[in-house]
Amino acid sequence: MSTALVTGATAGIGNAFVRRLARDRYDLVLVSRDAERLEKLAAELRAAYGIEVEVLPADLVTDQGCATVEARLADGARPVDVLVNNAGFGVTRRFVTGDIEDEDRMLRVLVRAVLRLTRAAVPGMVERRHGTVVNVSSVAGFVPQGTYSAAKAWVTTFTQGLAAELSGTDVRVVALCPGFTHTEFHERAEMDMESIPDWLWLQADDVVDATFADLARGRVVCVPGLQYKVIVALARHLPTVAVTAVGRRVRAARNRSPKPASAPDTP
């Protein structure tokens, strides 16, 4: 049976990936900071699907946490066939007034962890000539909104470059770029989302289904939802000043809370 490792596995898009992979009969390695929630989820999945589920508590902000997951991914005796880099981190304060340590922690999760975990997993996949990496990015990467947007733009570009490098190896990579998705992320980051219209919201299960559909089609960038496909197309062709203005409006809608907060389990 194949094995998948998912970071940020206990909630939101990560949890939707976990449940889809469990239904598809993958054994699982679940990564999150919350050991208690991981154990509860693992027990539920074992009972429901009869699969092997390994719990790996780790804080990807820290060197030790990242190294723990890297070691598991590089273990040739227990190969991982699918890596989902989903762990997220949100900061609600503006860059110029916020805490630089929060910004740094966000980059550690959204950029450094994606870089290091992908590098730990891919060599073995190439050697086995089989494997899949899903890097959860965001539509925000196409619309300037500060450090979070910049980090997600990096994830998308990194994935595109990696896909070119892996051409002909039978290792597939995709950058998943969802828009607003119903998860715990916004609540845990204390973001006021009531001003976001209903038509912009996606469901986590639909986002995951779109990812696997685009993987099957060989696409490297997945943008779920027609509304977001249009938004991304416009962002790629509108003048920079117009895209930046959109980013300001979106940021104003999200950043109502004066408190910085992290949401390490969802993107």
Catalytic residues: 148
- C-alpha span between 122 and 59 (Å, rounded): 21
- C-alpha span between 15 and 59 (Å, rounded): 17
List the beta bridge partners of residue 30: 6, 55
* Residue with the two structure tokens 């980013």: 247
| 3-state SS assignment for residue 8 | coil
Tokens of 55: 């719990």
Question: What is each CA distance from 26 to 36, 53, 63, 138, 158, in whole angstroms?
Answer: 22, 9, 28, 26, 26
Asked whether the CA dihedral 142, 195, 109, 222 is positive or negative, the reply is: negative
Give the type of residue at 188.
R
CB hemisphere CA count around 214 (13 angstroms)? 21
Tokens of 22: 């469990």
Short-list 254, 233, 65, 10, CA closest to 149: 254
Short-list 1, 15, 2, CA closest to 181: 15
